Every structure is written in structure tokens, then in C-alpha cells.
Structure 1
Amino acid sequence: MTEEMMPRIGAAIELSVRGDREAAREQFTELWAETTDPLHRCMIAHHLADQQEDVREELRWDLVALELASSITDERPTEVGSIVPVRAFYPSLHVNLGDAYRRAGELSLAREHLDLGLAAADALADDEYGRLIKTGLARLAHELESA
């Protein structure tokens, strides 16, 4: 297994950030077919979910990412140069699931994932990524309060 996958995942993420959802979706789909590594697949599924037009497809990919996260060893992220431990993946995975469930009208499941995300938030560092995810959790909490 080579680690050339990480820059390729990064390039697909960049397509998404630039707003080219179709190209990002195509790239993530190709990458998905090329790897069986749980870390790579978790990252791909997590970002591929965001490229979906249909909230049910988004939920499907978010659930795949959550399931894959449980099979990633603590050492694996550092092997690919990540400074984020596996446990720091969970708040983001749960906020995405909570938001998708909210948009699908499944508020009980949305609240469940908000609670799980908040419970896991202590794994986040006080850095840009951690603040981004904590902001997402706060936004989801506010949206669910208003629902």
C-alpha cells in the first residue's frame, strides 16, 4: 500500500472546497474503488457524503464513514502524517450525521448524533480544525433547538 492516496484525497477535497461538487464526487468515487484501507475509505466516504444531492445518499455515505472509523487503529493516522488522532474524527462524523438527519426530518436521530458529537468533542485540539467542528456542533444544536 502506498501513501500516494493522501495527496489524491486532498486534491479531491480541494475540488469540493472550490465548489466543483461534480468533479469532486467523480474523483472520490474513483478513489473509493482504488483502496480498501479503512483510513482512506473513511476519509473518502466522509467527504463523498458532502457531494451528494440527495440527503439519503449523504446519510448512507456518512454512516459508511462512521462504521469505517471504528476499524482504524490509533497508529494509522500518524503513519500517513496526520496529527489528528482517530478519536478526533468522531465529532465531525457525528455533526455531519446529525445535520443530515435534521435535514431529512429525523430529529431524534439528529439529536442523538449531536449528543455523541458533543461527548466526543474533548478529543478536538484548540486549533482551526477543532474550532470548525465545535462551531458546527453549536450550529446544529441551535438548529435543533429551533426545530
Structure 2
Amino acid sequence: MNKRREATSEDGVLTRIGQAIMLHRAGDREEARNRLSALWHEIGPHGDAFHRCTLAHYMADTQDDPRDELDWDLRALEAAEGFVTERPDRGGSAPGESSVADGPGPRHPLVALRAFFPSLHLNIAADYAALDRTADARAQLLRARASANALADGEYRQGLRDAIDRLELRIDRAAGRTA
């Protein structure tokens, strides 16, 4: 019974994040930001890494100031990096592989957190570009490209690669370089 209650609680957090995202996409940026902020405080600094990463990732999109957007994107990256660790599994995985993220709270597949990395680095690159921090933006683009290349082939990977290319072109144009 406790496992069922935990699963419902887990689904509830992701559902609430999804509802806030829908509000944002429908144009109610302030209400989305308010709900995500309340949920961020509810989850707390030691809450589930997947939830913290997801929430901060979307909270960044609700910000009006590019510096605030960067702060939230960095929080999302910190949450993902803090819990994605390589360690020998004590169970059925091959040596050196781990199928879960470490940390307090529920466990999530590493692949779910790892799939965030290209998007997180891309968002941070865009934040730096908006703040005219070109060198930082380019460094994040390199990280975005490397982590996208580590993903399995598919639409998500290709979409990320295309977005990385578009941002790189935009940065080059802003710097007066031609491609």
C-alpha cells in the first residue's frame, strides 16, 4: 500500500509540473511561475532530483529576466549533475552501469536524467548568449553537442542537434562571423 501511495505522490508532482507548463504555454506566465515556485518550496532542496531538475528546467522558461532564467537553468543542471553518478551496481546491471539516480526519495532511471543534459546545456548557452557572454555560450554549446551525441538516434536527438546548430549560427551572426 505504501508503494502505491508513493507512486501516486510521484505522479502528483509531475502532474502539477505539467499543469503549470500548460498554464505557461497558454499564456499565463505569472500563474505558472507562482505554481512552480510553490512546488519548488514544497519539494525542497533535498527533494527528488528528477522533480527538481524538471521543475527548474521549466521554471527557467517562465522568467522575465535573462539572469533569472540562467539561475533556474543552472539549478536544473545542478540537480541533474548532483544525482547522476556512475557507480558499480550491486544488482543485475553490468559492472560500471547504474540504472538509477542516487539520492533521497524515489529512484528514476539514469537515462531520464541524462536525457535532460543536452537540453539543459542548450538552454544555458541561450541564456549566456542573451547576456552577451559569448565564450560561455560557446562552451555550453560544446557540452550540449557532446551530450546530444551520447543519446540514441531519434527525433529527440535530431531536434536537439538542429537547435544547437541554430543557436550556434545565431551566435556566429551576432559576433559578425559567417558560416
Shift in Å, 1:127: 4.3
Compute the TM-score of the two structures, normalised by the length of structure 2.
0.73
Question: What is residue 11 of structure 1 aligned with on the other side?
Answer: 19
User: Which of 166, 169, 172 is residue 139 of structure 1 equivalent to?
Assistant: 166
The size of the alignment, in residue pairs, is 145
Structure with greater contact order relative to length (CA < 8 Å, sep ≥ 6) = 1
CA contact (8 A) 1:88 1:123 kept: no
What's the C-alpha RMSD, in Å, of the aligned pairs? 2.2
Q: Secondary structure at the match of 1:71?
A: helix
Shift in Å, 1:128: 4.4
Which residue identity lines up with residue 135 of structure 1 in the other structure? D
Unaligned runs of 5+ in 2: 1-5, 85-98, 175-179
Q: Secondary structure at the match of 1:70?
A: helix
Question: What is residue 31 of structure 2 aligned with on the other side?
Answer: 23
Larger Rg: 2
- The answer to whether the aligner puts 1:120 opposite 2:120 as a matched pair is no
Q: Secondary structure at the match of 1:85?
A: helix
1:29-48 deviation digits (Å, cap 9, x = unpaired)? 01101112221111111111
Question: What is residue 74 of structure 2 aligned with on the other side?
Answer: 63
Runs of 4+ in 1 over 3 A off after TM superposition: 123-132
Compute the TM-score of the two structures, normalised by the length of structure 1.
0.87
1:108-133 deviation digits (Å, cap 9, x = unpaired)? 00000001000110244444443432
CA distance in 1, matches of 2:28, 2:161: 26
Question: What is residue 91 of structure 2 aligned with on the other side?
Answer: none
